[in-house]
Amino acid sequence: MMNNLKLVVFQLVITISYCFSASHEHRVPRLSLLRGVNIQKKSETKPTTISKGFTTYLYDQTLDHFNYNPQSYTTFKQRYDLNFKHWGGSRKNAPIFAFLGAEAPLGRHPRVGYMTENAPRFRALQVYIEHRFYGESNPLGSMKKSLENTTIRGYFNSAQALADYAEILIYLKDKLSAHNSPIIVVGASYGGMLAAWFRLKYPHVVHGALASSSPILYFDDITSDDAYFEAVSKDFWEVSESCYRTIQKSWLEIDKIASKPHGLAFLSKKFKTCKQLRDSEELKYYLSSMYAGAAQYDAPPTYPVTQVCGGINGAPNGTDILGRIISGIDAYSDKKCHDTDDTLSDESDMGWNWQTCTELVIPIAYGDHTMFPPSNFSLSEWSKDCRRSFGVEPRPHWITTYYGGQDIKLVLKKFASNIIFTNGLRDPYSTGGVLQNISDSLVAVVTTNGSHCLDILSSQPDDPEWLVTQRKTVFHILEGWIKEYYATLNATHKVAL
């Protein structure tokens, strides 16, 4: 994958015994455009194939943008996809829409229908850039190999990723002679954070950013650490109080049965786990992840929270608590068995675990006012898990040091512009999002019923009116920015459009 790996022989390698996993209590829900907990029914999963008209390219990317050590000049192949179908061309200074990849292979991301559907209206070139270390853009060919290498993995962070995007976009503008084409970056979830940060760090490269479901305020105690699971619980309460109460009572029942002789074997059989449970925490973590996923992606037309509660409340009269919980699972999932083993075999999960053990320290806790057993966030325990998994110490204050976040209204109003923050309030991560306008061009577009990244996915014939309106609002804001850009360009350079 790399042009020059001669220096790797001098680098220390971590022993394979590192488990790449954290304890149940300290796993951060994935900030993914797609489902982080993929246990929903197959019939509800939308296709993820890339749209026609895209061509894949590989860019010789710099391994280290910020140092001048010999290994810094090493390169690796970074994937990006282009679609010229609707582009108006460089002579017309037609815009460029760039999707900033996040913690998943690029192949999953072209579900971002907002770019594809609006490219014809803006006559925009579409660019999708894969995040370093994910998918095909891995320096050593696999996440496992890269994370085992104590030198290579040090270049796996958001600042390096932003520099990657800048280098590729500047390269493309030069190659296409599109020096006056405005760039709009689009990002979802963690990618939404990257999009917002990119506009702040590289305003000379990008004209504006659309940051969908980006919890940029879920760091460094800006947002309460129990906000995420309080929002999950609120979603369930609003759908059905009895469903909420049943879930709330189920945890004690699971522990009660697990403590009995052969209790874990009984629970394994009852819940149809793929392997026998090691402890009750394994099952409880799996269930809490399922409820969190249902809330985070509680999108029309199926509305997963309603599905789960429909199964729980719809169980036959006389069904016990755990029987009702199983009915809820069955209503939501069609899996023959449930894989409760949280060992991180998926490369994206491995990468996300590394990122949250280093700079993206998102404190997630189960507060007293939720349907979950209370569990505080402990930075010392988090650090212990990260040292055990990777031999690294988390830097919980680095994100706010490097990108800001504290007093965001006061700070960003002084110098920032052209960022749209979209959120749906049914998404638990919206609790760490920007939910109010900061200025005329730092805009929050919020919907009460929206879920995680729903606004930038492909439109559907049965989309509710509030979702259609949200997308139209974003379109008109972007349209205004581009018109303003062209007016300024014409006034300063006398460029014919």
Token pair recorded at residue 16: 């394979």
Please confirm, yes or no, whether 235 is among the known catalytic residues. Answer: no
* Rounded Cα–Cα distance for residues 191 and 158 (Å): 10
- Active-site annotation holder among 298, 349, 385, 427: 427
* Rounded Cα–Cα distance for residues 50 and 490 (Å): 36
- Active-site annotation holder among 86, 389, 452, 455: 452
User: Residue 104, Cβ neighbours under 10 Å: how many?
Assistant: 27
Please confirm, yes or no, whether 427 is among the known catalytic residues. Answer: yes
Please confirm, yes or no, whether 189 is among the known catalytic residues. Answer: yes
How far is residue 434 CA from its own chain's centroid? Answer: 16
User: Residue 241, Cβ neighbours under 10 Å: how many?
Assistant: 11
- Specify which residues 394 forms β-bridges with: none
Q: Where does 175-243 show beta strands of DSSP type E?
A: 183-188, 208-212
Of 102, 158, 105, 155, the residue nearest 135 (C-alpha): 105
Going by their DSSP bridges, the two strands 183-188 and 208-212 should be labelled as parallel
* Rounded Cα–Cα distance for residues 404 and 226 (Å): 21
What three-state secondary structure class fits 183?
Answer: strand
- Active-site annotation holder among 189, 233, 289, 327: 189
Read off the DSSP letter of residue 279: S
Of 135, 161, 173, the residue nearest 63 (C-alpha): 161
Active site residues per annotation: 189, 427, 452
